[in-house]
Structure 1
Amino acid sequence: MTMWVTVLVACVLAYLTKLAGFIVPASWLEGPRISRITRLLPAALLAGLIVTQTLGGTEGRLVFDARLAAVAAATVLLLLRANFLIVVFGAAAVAALLRYAGWS
């Protein structure tokens, strides 16, 4: 399969997934268990994305580099209730300084 066929198949699948969200009856989503799952699902997906992008390396190995330190810095700033822009710029500055120092 070529790259363009893969991209087009992914686009069709994304469209069908979005369309399925409109077709599903509301009564299927009204139960207490389903509503609890749908409330927690975005946070779980975001946490999984953060972990895989922060620690993910090649060939299934964990990589500890400036990304992990940046996420740690962002966590500390969030715990200190810093402004969101301060959190983003602080994490970026930590990553940049560590990469500049050679800790890639």
Structure 2
Amino acid sequence: MRLWLSILAVSAANSLLKATGPLALGDRRLPSTARRVVALMAPVLLAGLIVVELAGPGWHELDGAQVLGVGVAGLAWAARAPMLVAVLVGAAAAAAVRLL
């Protein structure tokens, strides 16, 4: 019972926080600087999650093959390869380094 009350409370708080922005702004638009910051929040959070997942919370679990695989996948994606191809190339690079 306590779990469901917690879930309900977190859901209500989340809905209130999401509604605060449109209620506070009304018909006005965000300044261009704020729009750029908001647009960059998702990629920055994703990059932070990837770094923590690769290195671990204390940087003790850093694996060179994984870092190389993510780097190769990033380079392949930057070279306009489709996402699936970039992931497969990164996985192949990490597997090749582990075999050596």
Q: Aligned-pair distance for 1:9?
A: 4.4
> What is the rounded CA distance, in whole Å, between the counterparts of 2:18 and 2:45 in structure 1?
18
Structure 2 unpaired stretches of 5+: none
2:51 corresponds to: 51
One-letter code aligned to 2:69: A
TM-score (norm 2): 0.67
Higher mean displacement: 20-29 or 60-69: 20-29
1:13 corresponds to: 10
Backbone CA RMSD of aligned residues: 3.2
2:59 corresponds to: 61
Higher mean displacement: 13-22 or 86-95: 13-22
1:78 corresponds to: 77
Q: Give the number of equivalent residue pairs.
A: 95
TM-score (norm 1): 0.65
Distance 1:55 1:89, change over 3 A: same
Identity of aligned residues (%): 28
Distance 1:68 1:94, change over 3 A: same
SS at match of 2:34: helix
SS at match of 1:82: coil
One-letter code aligned to 1:61: W
Structure 1 unpaired stretches of 5+: none
